[in-house]
Chains A and B, each alone.
Chain A
């Protein structure tokens, strides 16, 4: 069935260190993978995305990698800052639909 697994559920890093969040999806025909950042009391905010025909995408301190064979994709945040603290959700858009299946979220804490 449709499923996106996300790890870890919580992650604490020191300011300036890197953070990596990993997701695995089940539908090999999925073709679009966005990452969302959600702060308390706010809606999810798109921070980066990647399509299935690309292996890696970078935007300043944020990068996403995709391994289609293994059905894995990961979010990498470098030089973390306290304002990066939030819940991060990965998602996969399944073939034939436009809905997203979200991962279970990772609560990232960046310690100053």
Chain B
């Protein structure tokens, strides 16, 4: 079965650079969620989109922005990167927000040096 696809799997950036993470949800899933997971930490909710509109916002820094496109894929744009942004970034998708648990992708490991 198709899963949530995230790219790239690994990304190394220098401080103050920008990064773009991509997420391709499971086919027909219309809701995308972004989470950030620091080393040894639980996932922290960043932002979500339903039908291309922002549906929830969590602890996403102002330096980050995200959007969902017409094909339902989503991109997380991160600017002025800081060392503390180094983390695993997970995308998850679901069929409408009301349906059960969502499926996570394998994540993008961002390292800021």
Chain A contact residues, CB within 8 Å of chain B:
32, 34, 36, 42-46, 49, 89, 97-105
Contact = CB atoms under 8 A, between A and B. Distances in A.
A102 B100 contact: no
Interface stretch (B63-71, B78-86, B101-109): B101-109
B48 interface: yes
Given A43-B106, A49-B100, A99 B33 contact: yes
Give the size category of B's interface with A. Answer: 20 to 34
Contacts of B41: 104-105
A105 B40 CA distance: 9
Contact of A89 (B43, B56, B58): B43
B74 interface: no
Contacts of B106: 42-43
A99 B100 contact: no
Interface of B: 4, 31, 33, 41-45, 48, 50, 55-56, 58, 90, 92, 94, 97-98, 100-107
Given A34-B101, A99-B33, A102-B42, 13 more contacts: A32-B100, A42-B106, A43-B105, A44-B43, A46-B101, A89-B43, A97-B56, A98-B48, A98-B56, A98-B94, A99-B45, A99-B56, A102-B43
Contact of B104 (A43, A49, A97): A43
Q: Which residue, of A32, A34, A44, A102, has the highest number of chain B Cβ atoms within 10 A?
A: A44
Contacts of B90: 43-44
